[in-house]
Amino acid sequence: MRDLINVMALAVLQGVTEFLPVSSSGHLVIAQDALGIKLPGIRLEVMLHLGTMLSIVVYYRETLRALTRGILRGERASWATAGHVALSAVPAVFFYVLFHDKVDAFYEDSRAVGGFLVFTGVVLCSLRWMRCGANGVTAPRALLVGMAQAFAVLPGVSRSGMTISAARMAGVEPRKAAEFSFLMCLPLLAGAAALDAVRGAAETSAALPWWLLLGGALVAAAVGYAALALLVRVLRGGKFWMFGIYCLAAGAATLYGVH
């Protein structure tokens, strides 16, 4: 029963915070620290990543179908989009390869998570006073957004918050900013799931039953889909910056609560 509660709680938390700009990694660290919830095995990490990937694929199914069709037909625009997605992943890969030891240490430090949440909040709130354009994604903009995404390997720095904010500041219109942000995270989510799977191959702890792993993935997917739909709606309404208030409050509360 304890495993069931932990898995469902973490699945809901993953689904909500993976897409809303409040940092899923930061909230997982805080939840495990404050509530005593422990991630019961690496295999669950794999399934939760796959669940959130599924929600992106379902939500953007028409876009992905058109992109795949265009690539197969050799359409220049589709190949350009694929190239932009690939280019955006480069900074995050390099950042993690070069600094993964230091990055991993931050996952054990709630004070650092609180500080990074405050940083995320400042970036999001800054959009309130910025005049953003309404253009599309180009190679330079994709690289810039990819550089913003690189910082999201730090717990407490929101991936969606950084990438959408960077895209909007670079002049990308809201719908395209959200779409590109979530398309570009698919390779990273797949890579994270693969990395977790490799680590899980050597896991010696008792494995969770398959039905519980599958249930966690489906819950993460369903909650993630709802969170993704909410984020796109808020972004179109020009209220995206308001998530920054929550990040500032959560970060300050975390810093205050750490002794």
The pTM assigned to this predicted structure is 0.85
In contact, 12 and 219? CB cutoff 8 Å: yes
Q: Looking at the predicted structure, is the pLDDT value of residue 203 above 70?
A: no
Return the pLDDT at 79. 96
Asked if 161 and 243 touch (Cβ cutoff 8 Å), the reply is yes
Confidence class of residue 188 from pLDDT cuts 50, 70 and 90?
confident
User: Which one-letter amino acid corresponds to residue 160?
Assistant: S
How would you class 176 by CB atoms within 10 Å of its CB: exposed for 0-12, middle for 13-18, buried for 19 or more?
middle
**177-181 mean pLDDT:** 92
CA distance 27 to 210: 25
Q: What is the pLDDT of residues 93-148, one digit of tens each?
A: 888 888 877 887 887 788 888 999 999 999 999 988 887 777 889 999 999 999 99
Tens-digit pLDDT profile for residues 219-257: 999 999 999 999 988 888 888 999 999 999 999 988 887
**Each residue of 70-104: pLDDT tens digit?**
999 999 999 999 999 999 999 988 888 888 778 87
